[in-house]
Structure 1
Amino acid sequence: MVHRGPAARDPGPGRRRRRTRVEQGRVRGAAAPRPYASSYGPEAEARIPEQVARAVEPARGEHTHSEPPAPPAPAAPAPRTAVQRHSVRGQILQALRTALVSGELRPGEVYSAPVLGERFGVSATPVREAMQQLALEGAVEVVPNRGFRVVERCARELAELAEVRALIEVPVMLRLARSVPAARWSELRPLADATAAAAATGDRARYAESDRAFHRAVLSLAGNEQLVAVADDLHRRAQWPLTSAPALRRADLVADAAEHSALLEALVAQDLPVVQALVREHFTGADR
């Protein structure tokens, strides 16, 4: 006797056996479900990524909970205007420093930014910004509702600046005289020659710039940028004219430039006693 499962039992008379789902599918011509994508064949597998992409793509008009796209970041403004303004301010600052050294801006006088702006052919804004920088340096002081007054300086202030400069620069120069080779000192000859050429013209502003350039080059051999910056600021302040003293004559500038050349010669020769004497003497004059 063959045992039959419950699905194969005869329902008996008057009853119809219910077809299973598989049998119903065969009758209707439906294919049985395939559990694995690999049974679809190569062509069907190639279409799967497209179907997945369409499935995750939101339907047209369908509401989604995703955040709206962020608005594009505003374009950064072109730096050309800022660069030009900074350049104008720097040029005005340099022009005002030259006017201070040459005595064109007289101590005790008050100058307004609009008037100076007309003189330089610019607006009052860059002039005011340059004057504020000079106020920080101690060259001018702010006069409310009027402008800027050139500071009146005395011989004592100039002597104090010379003393501070000597405290900073003399030890550094003496140390460099013992460590820097002669070839490096020879490279500074063009700067010493530039101070002599500027002194020969009697142009105080031109000489002041070449004088600071020579000292900056010497101190830069120490490799200390902060030292160079501090010494240069003190040097610039020492170059502003006094209230009552007359401007330096051409002979004074020539004598000062000659000290640069003599100092450089002693450094190249590594003559330490002469270097020490020249360095200390260079900072004793009130005109430095």
Structure 2
Amino acid sequence: MIKRSTLRSQIASALRDEILAGRLPAGSHFTVKEIAEQYGVSATPVREALVDLAAQGLLDVEQHRGFRVHEFTVDDYRSMVKARMVVLDGLFHGYFTDDGPVPVLTLDEAVLASVRRRAEAAVRAARAGDLDVLIGYDLRYWRELGDVIGNRYICDFLDRLRVQCWVYSVPCLRKEPEVSKRLWAGHRELVDAVEREDAETAHRIAGEYHRHALAIAEKSPPW
């Protein structure tokens, strides 16, 4: 028998993926009963999963009515990207100083190899314009890269912001006729800079990442 906590996590992950992919678009309304029937499970783990997603800012709780996929505005998106920019810059400054990298951190080769695999997969997906594949690898890439050079609390915060930014930007990007030209693909160069302990290049690439994200807001909405 699957434990309730595991079922709760599985349902939350499945619904988050649906929201990220845009298959559950902003404003979509549903009840615990509807999701429970869809997955063929009891109401309790579904309710817990939906509450978890609401805590992540992806769902709104509608009193006595159920849940609704949160609608992020373009101003929300700009604010999230700028917040991400400030925190990520702080993360890099915490690792890189004017005199070089802070010596208390050791770059684990196995972890870096995993980050590099995520980077390669993300770049391939971006160049192919495959949003569904890119989202998963991009999120894992940034999470693992953050684990290399940061702390868990900052990584959790950044992960939440990235998910929310993807939720906003995916519907916009899907309207692009040549979406591959609108996707950031600097993952490999950034991990190379971190591995070389090249502070200047790492900051430059991170800045390009932020500017690229903000450029999406220039065309939305409407598209």
Normalising by structure 2, report the TM-score.
0.78
AA aligned opposite 2:140: A
Of 201, 213, 218 in structure 2, the residue corresponding to residue 274 of structure 1 is: 201
Structure number with higher helix proportion = 2
Of 162, 175, 181 in structure 1, the residue corresponding to residue 81 of structure 2 is: 162
1:251 aligns with 2:180: yes
AA aligned opposite 1:164: A
Indicate conservation of the 8 Å contact 1:266/1:274, yes or no.
Answer: yes
Could you say if the C-alpha distance between residues 105 and 225 of structure 1 is closer, same or farther in structure 2, counting changes exceeding 3 Å? same
Q: Take 1:175 and 1:270, find their aligned partners in 2: how far apart are those partners?
A: 13
Among all aligned residue pairs of Structure 1 and Structure 2, give the percentage whose two residues are the same amino acid. Answer: 25
Deviations 1:80-107 (A, max 9, x none): x7x6111111000000100111111111
Of 134, 138, 141 in structure 2, the residue corresponding to residue 214 of structure 1 is: 141
Q: Take 1:127 and 1:232, find their aligned partners in 2: how far apart are those partners?
A: 23
1:84 aligns with 2:3: yes
1:142 aligns with 2:69: no
Q: Tell me the number of residue pairs that the alignment of Structure 1 and Structure 2 aligns.
A: 205
Structure 1's consecutive aligned runs of 4 or more residues displaced over 4 angstroms after TM superposition are 180-186, 200-203
Indicate conservation of the 8 Å contact 1:183/1:268, yes or no.
Answer: no
Query: Residue 148 of structure 1: SS of its match in structure 2?
Result: strand
Query: Residue 167 of structure 2: SS of its match in structure 1?
Result: coil
Task: Provide the residue aligned with 1:232 in structure 2.
Answer: 159
Q: Take 1:204 and 1:248, find their aligned partners in 2: how far apart are those partners?
A: 12
Whichever of the two has the greater Rg, that structure is 1
Q: Take 1:142 and 1:173, find their aligned partners in 2: how far apart are those partners?
A: 36
Which protein, 1 or 2, shows the higher relative CO under an 8 Å CA cutoff with sep ≥ 6? 2
Unaligned 5+ segments in structure 2 are: 218-223
Query: Residue 149 of structure 2: SS of its match in structure 1?
Result: coil
Query: Residue 283 of structure 1: SS of its match in structure 2?
Result: helix
Task: Provide the residue aligned with 2:48 in structure 1.
Answer: 129
Shift of 1:245: 3.1
AA aligned opposite 1:136: A
Q: Take 1:243 and 1:269, find their aligned partners in 2: how far apart are those partners?
A: 33
Matches within 5 A, 1:183-222: 184=109, 187=113, 188-199=115-126, 202-222=129-149
Shift of 1:259: 0.9
Q: Take 2:33 and 2:167, find their aligned partners in 1: how far apart are those partners?
A: 24
Indicate conservation of the 8 Å contact 1:131/1:140, yes or no.
Answer: yes
Could you say if the C-alpha distance between residues 109 and 123 of structure 1 is closer, same or farther in structure 2, counting changes exceeding 3 Å? same
Could you say if the C-alpha distance between residues 269 and 242 of structure 1 is closer, same or farther in structure 2, counting changes exceeding 3 Å? closer
Normalising by structure 1, report the TM-score.
0.62
Matches within 5 A, 1:27-46: none
Shift of 1:118: 1.9
Could you say if the C-alpha distance between residues 144 and 220 of structure 1 is closer, same or farther in structure 2, counting changes exceeding 3 Å? same
